[in-house]
């Protein structure tokens, strides 16, 4: 085990922040984070940890290890960390579990709880001698004068993930769910710009939770069925939801349903401008057909921005020049990233200009097929510079795709009525 950091002294700038009658926020703000698993985090993030002053003093999650001093200083501003009796690990990923060994070194008598999968994951991460107690789905942890109820949320977004509910203060601690990467000095969402909250929560969902959208819907249904009174939804990243819990729950429902829409994303790169000309002509056709095209030139766009835009799109059109018999590197990067995110309900098209060979268009087509993107028109591959006839064909294909999008959206809306 690595050396446990010293507890910062009383001159530390870090203080715990009360969020309810019995709970303090004792997390850390990571203003500098700009990448999280390949997802661009331009606003940084927070690692939220929570201290419950129950009969049994309880810590919910920890922080990424480089921020151990900040977390310990915040805890120490309220209580000696050695007095922690219970630690609940809602998720084993190291942005939340990174300081567990340090907390156990300070509070060796503490009982450490995790989901059954969490026990396995924490064991494989830290190889601790300290016992890890499995808490089953729906089981309560007795804190003396209050209780925590744990609910498994497997694959949101790791197999071990769970949420925990504090009955006394009506707080649902949700770990990654309902969070966002957004470093701020404010701790509550209602103190922040709603437009930024929507953007960053959607960005988080798009880049982290899209593959598990079906499971998100099941968790939302379960929470609705349990009808837990929730004064606060407390995720482990970004602000806490207090007066606006319905906002984030509603947004999650919208994003998880992945209904067909008439938004069409055209993602492309270009070598000498020809694939770009095709992209722009396709956009004209899509708009003429009643769709809402959005072009994303990959020469200046990050893969996670594409994922964000794709979350509420109904079509994905991908254009690539051929370079050395392969996809253009930026296109390859984005397509492999999107393939892992498994966005549903998409139609699409592969297109591009080449000099000879033209393997990239075929490779785009194959990747779209692997992504289960329904290709309602044949791929469009041209040599060198597009003629007026080729651009007219792009316009016609765009219009055809728009008509398909409108029909699918209408059919979905009719079925909803």
Burial class (CB in 10 A: 0-12, 13-18, 19+), 416: exposed
**Which is nearer to ligand FEO, 206 or 264 (by Cβ)?**
206
- Per the CB < 8 A criterion, the answer to whether 61 and 33 are in contact is no
Cα torsion 300, 306, 308, 312: sign: positive
* Identified binder of ligand FEO from the candidate list 200, 236, 305, 359, rule CB under 6 A: 236
Q: Which two tokens stand for residue 93?
A: 């990923």
| 176: contact with ligand FEO by CB under 6 A | yes
By CB under 6 A, what part of segment 140-169 binds ligand FEO?
Answer: 157-158
Is 91 among the residues known to form the active site?
Answer: yes
Contacting range for ligand FEO; rule: CB under 6 A; set: 91-99, 134-142, 199-207, 245-253: 91-99
**Which is nearer to ligand FEO, 96 or 263 (by Cβ)?**
96
**Which is nearer to ligand FEO, 59 or 361 (by Cβ)?**
59
Is 85 among the residues known to form the active site?
Answer: no
Alpha helices (H) in 212-302, listed in sequence order: 213-226, 245-257, 274-288
d(CA 210, CA 343): 6
Q: Which two tokens stand for residue 66?
A: 């480089």
Catalytic residue among 152, 176, 305, 359: 176
**Which is nearer to ligand FEO, 30 or 276 (by Cβ)?**
30
Contacting range for ligand FEO; rule: CB under 6 A; set: 88-96, 310-318, 341-349, 390-398: 88-96
> Which among 224, 210, 123, 212 is positioned nearest to 172, based on CA atoms?
224
> Which among 411, 161, 210 is positioned nearest to 308, based on CA atoms?
210
Catalytic residue among 22, 30, 39, 91: 91
d(CA 395, CA 381): 15
- Per the CB < 8 A criterion, the answer to whether 338 and 304 are in contact is no
Per-residue mark of binding to ligand FEO, 196-235 (x: CB under 6 A): ----------------------------------------
Contacts of 337 (CB under 8 A, 6+ apart): 38, 303, 304, 306, 307
- Per the CB < 8 A criterion, the answer to whether 173 and 48 are in contact is no
d(CA 127, CA 323): 47
Contacting range for ligand FEO; rule: CB under 6 A; set: 87-95, 141-149, 362-370, 395-403: 87-95
Is 30 among the residues known to form the active site?
Answer: no
Contacting range for ligand FEO; rule: CB under 6 A; set: 93-101, 125-133, 285-293, 328-336: 93-101
Per-residue mark of binding to ligand FEO, 387-416 (x: CB under 6 A): ------------------------------
**Which is nearer to ligand FEO, 158 or 337 (by Cβ)?**
158
Is 93 among the residues known to form the active site?
Answer: yes
Identify whether 306 is preceded by a cis peptide bond (ω within 30 of 0): no
Catalytic residue among 93, 102, 269, 359: 93
| 269: contact with ligand FEO by CB under 6 A | no
Contacting range for ligand FEO; rule: CB under 6 A; set: 89-97, 108-116, 125-133, 403-411: 89-97
Residues paired with residue 352 on neighbouring β-strands, in sequence order: 381
By CB under 6 A, what part of segment 5-34 binds ligand FEO?
Answer: none
d(CA 37, CA 307): 13
Q: Minimum Å distance from CB 62 to ligand FEO?
A: 12
Q: Minimum Å distance from CB 121 to ligand FEO?
A: 11
* Identified binder of ligand FEO from the candidate list 30, 61, 90, 95, rule CB under 6 A: 95
Is 22 among the residues known to form the active site?
Answer: no
- Per the CB < 8 A criterion, the answer to whether 206 and 310 are in contact is yes
**Which is nearer to ligand FEO, 69 or 95 (by Cβ)?**
95
> Which among 10, 11, 12, 14 is positioned nearest to 29, based on CA atoms?
14
Q: What are the DSSP E strand ranges found in 219-314?
A: 232-235, 263-268, 292-297
**Which is nearer to ligand FEO, 176 or 276 (by Cβ)?**
176
By CB under 6 A, what part of segment 96-125 binds ligand FEO?
Answer: 96
Is 237 among the residues known to form the active site?
Answer: yes
- With residues binned 3-state (H G I as helix, E B as strand, rest as coil), the percentages for the chain, rounded to 5, are 40, 20, 40
| 90: contact with ligand FEO by CB under 6 A | no
Phi/psi at 259 (nearest 5 deg)? -70, 155
d(CA 409, CA 404): 9
| 65: contact with ligand FEO by CB under 6 A | no
Instruction: Provide the binding-site residues for ligand FEO, judged by CB under 6 A.
Output: 91, 93, 95-96, 157-158, 176, 236-237
- Residues recognised as catalytic: 37, 91, 93, 95, 157, 176, 204, 237
């Amino acid at each position: 085990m690595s050396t446990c950091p010293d507890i910062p002294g009383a001159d530390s700038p870090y203080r715990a922040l009360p969020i309810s009658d019995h709970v303090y926020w004792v997390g850390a703000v990571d203003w500098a984070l700009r990448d999280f698993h390949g997802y661009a985090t331009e606003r940084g993030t927070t690692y939220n940890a929570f201290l419950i002053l129950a009969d049994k003093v309880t810590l919910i999650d920890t922080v990424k290890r480089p921020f151990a001093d900040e977390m310990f200083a915040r805890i120490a501003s309220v209580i000696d960390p050695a007095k922690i009796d219970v630690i609940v690990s809602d998720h084993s990923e190291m942005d939340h579990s990174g300081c567990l060994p340090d907390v156990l070194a300070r509070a060796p008598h503490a009982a450490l709880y995790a989901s059954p999968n969490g026990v396995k994951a924490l064991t494989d991460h830290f190889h601790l001698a300290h016992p890890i107690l499995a808490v089953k789905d729906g089981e309560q942890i007795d804190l003396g004068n209050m209780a925590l109820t744990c609910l498994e949320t497997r694959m949101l977004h790791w197999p071990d993930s769970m949420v925990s509910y504090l009955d006394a203060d009506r707080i649902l601690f949700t770990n990654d769910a309902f969070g966002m990467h957004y470093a701020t000095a404010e701790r509550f969402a209602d103190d922040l710009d709603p437009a930024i909250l929507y953007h960053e929560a959607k960005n988080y969902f798009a880049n982290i939770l899209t593959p598990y959208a079906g499971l998100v819907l099941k968790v939302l249904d379960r929470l609705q069925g349990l009808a837990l009174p929730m004064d606060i939804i407390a995720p482990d990243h970004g602000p806490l939801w207090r007066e606006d819990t319905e906002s984030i729950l509603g947004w999650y429902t919208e994003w998880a349903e992945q209904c067909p829409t008439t938004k069409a994303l055209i993602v492309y790169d270009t070598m000498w401008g020809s694939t770009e000309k095709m992209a722009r002509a396709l956009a004209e056709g899509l708009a003429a057909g009643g769709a809402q095209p959005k072009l994303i030139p990959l020469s200046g766009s990050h893969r996670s921005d594409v994922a964000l835009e794709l979350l509420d799109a109904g079509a994905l059109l991908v254009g690539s020049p051929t370079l050395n018999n392969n996809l253009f590197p930026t296109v390859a990067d984005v397509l492999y990233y999107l393939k892992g995110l498994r966005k549903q309900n998409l139609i699409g098209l592969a297109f591009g200009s080449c000099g000879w060979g033209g393997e990239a268009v075929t490779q785009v087509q194959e990747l779209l097929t692997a992504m289960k993107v329904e290709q309602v028109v044949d791929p469009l591959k041209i040599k060198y510079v597009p003629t007026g006839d080729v651009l007219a064909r792009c316009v016609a294909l765009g219009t055809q795709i728009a008509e398909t999008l409108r029909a699918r959206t209408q059919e979905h809306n009719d079925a909803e009525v």
